[in-house]
């Protein structure tokens, strides 16, 4: 399941909504798994049935591996989707994979703690990409997954990075992540 990132000014505006919204079940909107950042959770809430129908039409959710991936806003929304797939037991945890690139914190601490490390979760960041350090931890959101950082120079930690000086917005671009991955696998 590939989740698209920001496409227009409206997406950017919604990315900045720091309110909490309930992350509801795929099956029952009265069942709440926890809270997440509104702008990202609302996309999940509005598209969860369509996405689940598409997944079911393309694979056997009980036996196939399911990869949920996204960059930036797409990575944030992917975290919500993957967490709900796990919590609703739609996909067995050993077959569920989350890959995010340059994703912000999106899940409220309680929900993040509930799903962190429970299925395959990989979080890729560039050292000077400002987006993974947002929103600030003081707002109550946390990352999930094992962090791999290009040129960080500090130990991998669940909720790294902190906002550091000299961050560059250009380090957030998807082509920077693609170049890093090509180098990592020896295709450049």
pLDDT tens-place string over residues 113-156: 999 999 999 999 887 888 888 888 889 999 999 998 887 766 66
C-alpha span between 149 and 132 (Å, rounded):
11
- Which helix (H) or strand (E) segment holds residue 174: the answer is helix 174-184
Q: Is the pLDDT of residue 172 over 90?
A: no
Q: Is 129 a catalytic residue?
A: yes
Q: What pLDDT is stored for residue 160 in this prediction?
A: 67
Note the pLDDT tens digit of each residue in 66-78.
999 999 999 999 9
Average pLDDT, the chain: 88
Per residue, the 3-state secondary structure of 97-166, as one string, reads: EEEEECCCCCEEHHHHHHHCCCCEEEEEEECCCCHHHCCCHHHCEECCCEEEEECCCCCCCCCCCCCCCC
What average pLDDT does the segment 163-188 reach? Answer: 75
Q: What pLDDT is stored for residue 47 in this prediction?
A: 94
Strand 66-71 to strand 2-3: parallel, antiparallel, or no bridges (unpaired)?
A: parallel
Q: Is 8 a catalytic residue?
A: no
For residue 26, the 8-state DSSP code is: S
C-alpha dihedral sign at 35, 36, 39, 45: negative
Catalytic residue selected from 21, 103, 129, 171: 129
Q: Is the pTM of this model over 0.85?
A: yes
Q: What pLDDT is stored for residue 44 in this prediction?
A: 95
Q: What pLDDT is stored for residue 152 in this prediction?
A: 76
Q: Is the pLDDT of residue 26 over 60?
A: yes
Catalytic residue selected from 72, 83, 103, 112: 72
C-alpha span between 178 and 126 (Å, rounded):
11
Q: Is the pLDDT of residue 164 over 70?
A: no
**Residue 55: CA atoms inside 13 Å, Cβ hemisphere, count?**
24
Residues in the chain: 188
Residue 167 — very low, low, confident or very high, per pLDDT cuts 50/70/90? low
Answer for the pair 138, 162: CB distance below 8 angstroms, yes or no: no
Residue 158 — very low, low, confident or very high, per pLDDT cuts 50/70/90? low
């Amino acid at each position: 399941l590939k989740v698209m990132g920001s496409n227009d000014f409206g997406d950017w505006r919604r990315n900045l909504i720091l309110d909490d919204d309930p992350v509801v079940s795929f099956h029952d909107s009265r069942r709440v798994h926890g809270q997440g950042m509104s702008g990202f959770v609302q996309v999940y809430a509005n598209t969860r049935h369509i996405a689940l129908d598409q997944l079911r039409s393309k694979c056997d959710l009980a036996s196939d591996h399911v990869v949920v991936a996204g960059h930036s806003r797409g990575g944030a929304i992917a975290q919500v989707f993957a967490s709900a797939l796990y919590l609703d037991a739609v996909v067995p945890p050993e077959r569920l994979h989350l890959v995010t690139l340059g994703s912000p914190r999106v899940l409220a601490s309680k929900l993040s703690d509930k799903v962190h490390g429970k299925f395959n979760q990989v979080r890729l960041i560039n050292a000077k990409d400002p987006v993974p350090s947002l929103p600030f931890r003081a707002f109550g959101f946390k990352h999930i997954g094992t962090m791999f950082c290009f040129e960080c120079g500090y130990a991998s930690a669940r909720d790294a990075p902190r906002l550091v000086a000299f961050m560059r917005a250009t380090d957030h671009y998807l082509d920077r992540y693609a170049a890093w991955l090509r180098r990592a696998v020896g295709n450049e």
